[in-house]
Amino acid sequence: MIIGEALLARIRCVFAVLLLIAYSQTAFCCDSSMLELLTGASSQESVTAKLLVISSKMQVTAATAQAFNHAAAEKMHHEAMESWLYVASQITSNPPGQAATDPDFHSVIVQISRELGNIRQQIARRELDNVHDRLEMCVTRMSLLAAMINGHHRMIYFLRLELAVLNLRPVISLFEPVRESIIASDFLSMLAGAGLQKFQPAKERVNSLKKFFVVLRDSATSDQKRFSTASLTGYLSFYHEFMELKKLLLSEKYFNS
């Protein structure tokens, strides 16, 4: 009976992991919708358009990595990284638009460059498991750069919120640091600071998102040595709710004003 219960618990955990992988393949992943909105929106159109092209290359890399197509992923990532390094050198020496006054602009450039380098090494080792997730964060940071360049404060707040959500993704091999990040996260204060509660069409989603985060945090707090099924599925629900909020904001033209 004891063996049976242990086996059942293990099966549930494996199922949750598979669910987490499957969900990441279908739900609003590597989304460049913010970049698309900014393209052509200002005098910084040229830089934003270049960032969108690089973002598209990253999306293709992510898709080929998910399909475990090593050769295609390696080739496309090389193209994306080459293009990025060229653009990064230009905007680092001469920040366009309103980026010059943003104190975090250069640090985001460094984060993207460092992460793309790490992903290149990972692909070279044929370790493709979480390449998609890491590129998803790069695409979000790319969108954040474009928002900084265009001085789009609503988008900046939201993209920082999105990065916070992605940083809380339960990575099985990094249990302790990710668990601590979930427990110590200031997500709720960031959400309040973004001012989304004031946007009437999003009010219900924002309240729901708060509840999902609390459930995830409480579950992770109780975990010992590995993420429980409740925490893995709790993150899925939290992530899904956030992406539904994003979808709603886009459909209601929240970022167009």
115 and 222 together in one domain:
no
Q: What is the pLDDT of residues 216-248, one digit of tens each?
A: 999 999 999 999 999 999 999 999 999 999 999
What is d(CA 67, CA 61) in angstroms, rounded to the nearest whole number? 10
133 and 165 together in one domain:
no
What are the distances in angstroms from CA 251 to CA 28, 56, 158, 247, 256?
Answer: 14, 22, 15, 6, 10
Structure-block tokens of residue 33: 């919708």
58 and 147 together in one domain:
yes
Place of tokens 């698309």: 36
Domain end, chosen from 151, 173, 189, is at 151
166 and 238 together in one domain:
yes
**Does residue 27 carry a pLDDT above 80?**
no
Domain range holding 141? 31-151
176 and 132 together in one domain:
no
**Does residue 60 carry a pLDDT above 50?**
yes
| Average pLDDT rounded to a whole number, residues 48-68 | 92
Structure-block tokens of residue 12: 């549930």
What proportion of the chain, given as a percentage, has pLDDT over 90? 75
147 and 208 together in one domain:
no
72 and 176 together in one domain:
no
Of 54, 10, 3, 17, the closest CA to residue 169 belongs to 17
139 and 211 together in one domain:
no
78 and 190 together in one domain:
no
**What pLDDT, on the 0 to 100 scale, is given for residue 20?**
46
Per-position b or e across 152-172, b if 16+ CB within 10 A of its CB:
bebbbbbbbbbbbbbebbbee
Handedness of CA 225, 162, 160, 193 (dihedral sign): negative
Q: What is the pLDDT of residues 28-54, one digit of tens each?
A: 456 767 777 776 545 467 888 899 999
Give 115's pLDDT tier (boundaries 50, 70, 90). Answer: very high
Q: What is the pLDDT of residues 89-112, one digit of tens each?
A: 999 999 998 999 999 999 999 999
Q: What is the pLDDT of residues 186-210, one digit of tens each?
A: 999 999 999 999 999 999 999 999 9
**Does residue 14 carry a pLDDT above 60?**
no
Say which residue, 33 or 5, is predicted with more confidence. Answer: 33
